[in-house]
Amino acid sequence: MKTKITKLFGVRYPIVLSGMSWISTPELVAAVANAGGLGILATGILKPEETREYIRRTRKLTKLPFGANVTLYFPGAEQNAKIIIEEKVPVVNYALGKGDWICTAVHAYGGTVIATVTTMKHSLAAQRDGADALIVTGHEAAGHGGEVTSLVLVPIIVDGVKIPVIAAGGFADGRGLAAALALGADGISMGTRFMNSVESPIHASQKMKSSEIDAYDTVYTDKVDGLHARVMKSRGAARLIRKRMNPIKAAFLSRRIANIVGLPWLKVAVGILLMGPKKAMQMARMASGFFAFRAGTIHGDNDAGVLPIGQITGIIHDTPTVKQIIERIVKEAKEAQKVIASKL
């Protein structure tokens, strides 16, 4: 398969692994790369020294191109971005912030940059800042998807920018890949489908759960980690949605944020206070959400934790290897193309 995305990243197939915290580890990233796709390493919950270790571990597992992401909204993101740049990761994916300085630094060593966006405004800003491609995330997606569905959002942004678009949110099979290409995208990014794979590090019970639940078993809320996100309906999710935050709680949780990202607590606490009450509440929820996401993904605890999962889980009913997933999608996409051609 040949698209602008395969050419830009030097990969065989226009299929991307989303950078999911606690899930997109070196092992899963390398499995996607070795199967012909582009794996994106998640660094949002890593300390700088861990980020460097994960990048080097990925390089030992694959000789093919891979990426690493940085969520600029998170405390400590700038330090992680600098490590990614120092390590000259071939593809850098940034989100939730201004990435002009990242684009400049990555282009200096010959790398490429993907910006993750959910709106036209942010798409145009990323293009101005120098991004080489966009991951456009629709409402169906796990985690921080937008308010508009992929079917509408993708063609809107494809028509409004001059750089390639990777469609995310609602893609798990070859029909989805064929549909994304028909909408004008040059590839797809998948989180939930790769999350439920043999190589995925999430708890086995959550893989089983993903195969059993349907598209109605998710909830879209800003009460889990302070930003609108889609997660699986569970006792843990309901508890976090009901949970109330206050400035005292925010100050207490800032210590947990500092421990997560490896920054001095006083620096984080002052930074949060300077953001103002609304942002402080968001950061408090973010800290609470981090631990809930870890409990849900790693420990399979749906009472204390939550599992980010997309609506596409409704068509996922098995746990194959990454290689099997990609080969199946490519085969199905070619079959879908023939069906469409016969109908047209």
Q: What is the pLDDT of residues 232-289, one digit of tens each?
A: 999 999 988 887 766 556 556 666 666 666 666 566 555 555 555 566 666 667 776 7
CA angle 251, 254, 258 (to 5 degrees): 155
Q: Which helix (H) or strand (E) holds 53?
A: helix 48-61
Higher-pLDDT residue of 253, 210: 210
What pLDDT, on the 0 to 100 scale, is given for residue 251?
Answer: 59
Report how far residue 302's alpha carbon sits from residue 309's, in angstroms, rounded to the nearest whole number.
13
Query: Which tokens is 144 given?
Result: 């921080």
**pLDDT above 70 for 210:** yes
Question: How high is the mean pLDDT of the chain?
Answer: 91
Instruction: Evaluate if residue 314 carries a pLDDT over 60.
Output: yes
**Segments of the chain assigned to CATH 3.20.20.70:** 4-204+317-343
**Is 216 exposed, middle or buried (CB count within 10 Å of its CB: 0-12, 13-18, 19+)?**
exposed
The percent of residues above 90 in pLDDT, for the chain, comes to 74
In this prediction, residue 252 carries a pLDDT of 62
- Of 133 and 45, which is predicted with more confidence? 133
* Interval 129-187: pLDDT, tens: 999 999 999 999 998 899 999 999 999 999 999 999 999 999 999 999 999 999 999 99
pLDDT band at 50 (very low <50, low <70, confident <90, very high): very high
Please name every residue paired with 287 in a beta bridge, in sequence order, or none if there are none: none
Model confidence at 225: pLDDT above 90: no
Given a cut of 70, whether residue 228 has pLDDT beyond it is yes
Superfamily of domain 4-204+317-343: Aldolase class I (3.20.20.70)
d(CA 160, CA 154) in angstroms, rounded, equals: 10
Neighbours of 335 (CB within 10 A): 13
Q: What percent of the chain has pLDDT over 70?
A: 87
